[in-house]
Chains A and B, each alone.
Chain A
Amino acid sequence: MHRFANPNRFLKLANAILPWSTGILVLSLAAGLALSLIWSPVDYQQGHTVRIMYIHVPAAWMGMFAYTAMAVAAAVSLIWKHPLADLAGRATAPVGAAFTFVCLVTGALWGKPMWGTWWVWDARLTSMLILLFLYFGYMALQNAFDDPQRGNKAAAVLALVGFVNVPVIKFSVDWWNTLHQPASVVRMDGPAVDPSMLWPLLIMGLAFKAFYVTVVLLRIKAEIADAKIRALRMSEIHG
């Protein structure tokens, strides 16, 4: 773990991963879009609106995954004072917030024709909205202090406390009566989705994951460059 504390070692690793993650992103996005928009069947009840699922569900997965990654980075930052962990959290938050936002908007666009409403305050939808606000709070806290160290610490505490929301999102459909349907892919007895719809969904999931890896690595590189710039300017001022 500490071997990657060295930013130069991390940069080497990131530069080795980036061509692969970008390649996987381009290929899986092309295949996923073709499958989900053209070569996938129309649902017998939902008609063409089922195509919204191929955006909505991967976005929801990644919104929760990114928050989990951010909470892990927060724990590493608080326990080991690992400087790279703060940068990783800082890089992850906007990406997770973007996925969560896409999930909420596509959910509303799916809800209107299928449920007859853009929004209901059921447990699944509300907990997902709270996830978006947790991202906003995390980003705001990081920049709320003159001393970035204090901002990072406060944001890390929020990320850890807010993590309780992630299992609440996952199990909200089992714990409460929600208008949102229960899990149909990640469940004990295996996916309940037909393979003709499961494959486009999984490939779009891979594309979103590759997007996440690519963008987070680029953002961490930018954060490292930013830290170097600040250090150089400081040394110019103080000699």
Chain B
Amino acid sequence: MANYFDMGGYAGFVWPSYAVAAIVLGVLFIATWRGLKSRERTLEALLASRGPRRPRRGAAAPVGERADVTANEETG
């Protein structure tokens, strides 16, 4: 087993190669994932603070929502 990790005397070159790839690609993946999640949270918070979305023109909206929409339009 120790013989295997020694990589025939080239352990100092083989393992760092795999380590560099793992670290660079791993950090990129984690940064990408975190960046996406934080933006999705921000977007949700922004949408929630705006209240229910305005229904499309022509689509009938429930009375309660309509009141929200008009209130939203007045303040926004």
Contacts and interface: CB of A to CB of B under 8 A. Distances in A.
Interface stretch (A50-58, A149-157, A189-197): A50-58
A-side interface mostly: helix
Interface residues of A, number: 36
Contacts of A47: 7-10
Contacts of B8: 42, 47-48
Contacts of B36: 218-219, 221-222, 225
A49 B43 contact: no
Interface string A92-108: 00110010011001100
Contacts of B2: none
Interface size class of B (residues with CB under 8 A): 20 to 34
Contacts of B42: 225, 229
Interface of B: 7-10, 13-14, 16-18, 20-21, 24-25, 28-29, 32-33, 35-36, 39-40, 42-43, 46-47, 50, 76
Given A55-B18, A109-B17, A225-B40, 16 more contacts: A47-B7, A48-B10, A49-B13, A49-B14, A52-B13, A55-B17, A95-B28, A98-B24, A98-B25, A101-B24, A106-B21, A113-B13, A225-B36, A226-B39, A229-B39, A232-B50
9 contacts: A42-B8, A48-B14, A51-B14, A56-B17, A98-B25, A218-B32, A222-B35, A225-B43, A232-B50
Interface of A: 37, 42, 47-49, 51-52, 55-56, 59, 94-95, 98, 101-102, 105-106, 109-110, 112-113, 211, 215, 218-219, 221-222, 225-226, 228-229, 232-233, 235-236, 239
